[in-house]
Amino acid sequence: MDSPQTETPPAILELRPPRHRVSRTAIRYWTVRALVEWLVLAAIQVVWLLATDSDRRAWHIAGLVATALVCAAHLIVMPQWRYRVHRWEATAEAVYTQSGWFDQERRIAPVSRIQTVDSERGPLEQLFGLSNVTVTTASAAGPLKIRGLDRDTADRLVDELTNNTQANQGDAT
């Protein structure tokens, strides 16, 4: 008589902080990206200042100085803060992400639920040698995004997740 086979219970996945940080180069990337946006705002303010009557320019100059102060604070704090928060990890069972700086989010996706794994590099990210990895599942919360990885790490991660997904016989739903 055959003995009944016992199935091993599925691993319990915990929502926990991921182990890996993004590339340190992401700090410079986030700084430059934010600086470009601040420069656009400052350029608009300068054009407005030059188009204003001289008796009203004091208010525009005060606004430009305030913009410069907020810009400086943002460029000093935001990239460092994001670097401390943004983390990721991929195991044979799941992908863990943590992102944000004011609104922080921590997510987990079981490998059995992964539908697609994509890599993306925008023009500015290419200049800094960075890549983003997007892991799509059937979740209503949307895909998991890991931003700010160095190019080699992103390529290895895409390969690893693709192999893990193919080896896992889940239904990806």
Mean pLDDT of 22-32: 97
Question: Is pLDDT at 81 greater than 80 in this prediction?
Answer: yes
- Residue 60 confidence (pLDDT): 85
Structure confidence by residue, pLDDT tens digits, 122-136: 999 999 999 999 999
Q: What is the pLDDT of residue 5?
A: 56
Grade residue 57 by pLDDT with cuts at 50, 70 and 90: confident
Q: In what order do the strands lie in the sheet with 87-90?
A: 20-21, 87-90, 94-99, 105-110
- CATH of region 87-167: 2.30.29.210
Work out the average pLDDT over 144-156. 96
pTM of the model: 0.81
CB 130 within 8 A of CB 26: yes
- 124 or 16, which is more confident? 124
pLDDT of residue 165: 84
Rg (C-alpha) for the chain, rounded Å, is: 23
For residue 133, give every residue at least 6 positions away whose Cβ sits within 8 Å of its Cβ, in sequence order, or none: 117, 118, 119, 120, 145, 146, 149, 154, 157, 158, 161
Residues 20-45 have a mean pLDDT of 96
Q: Give the pLDDT band (50/70/90) at residue 141.
A: confident
What does the alpha-carbon distance between residue 18 and residue 70 come to, in Å, rounded to a whole number? 32
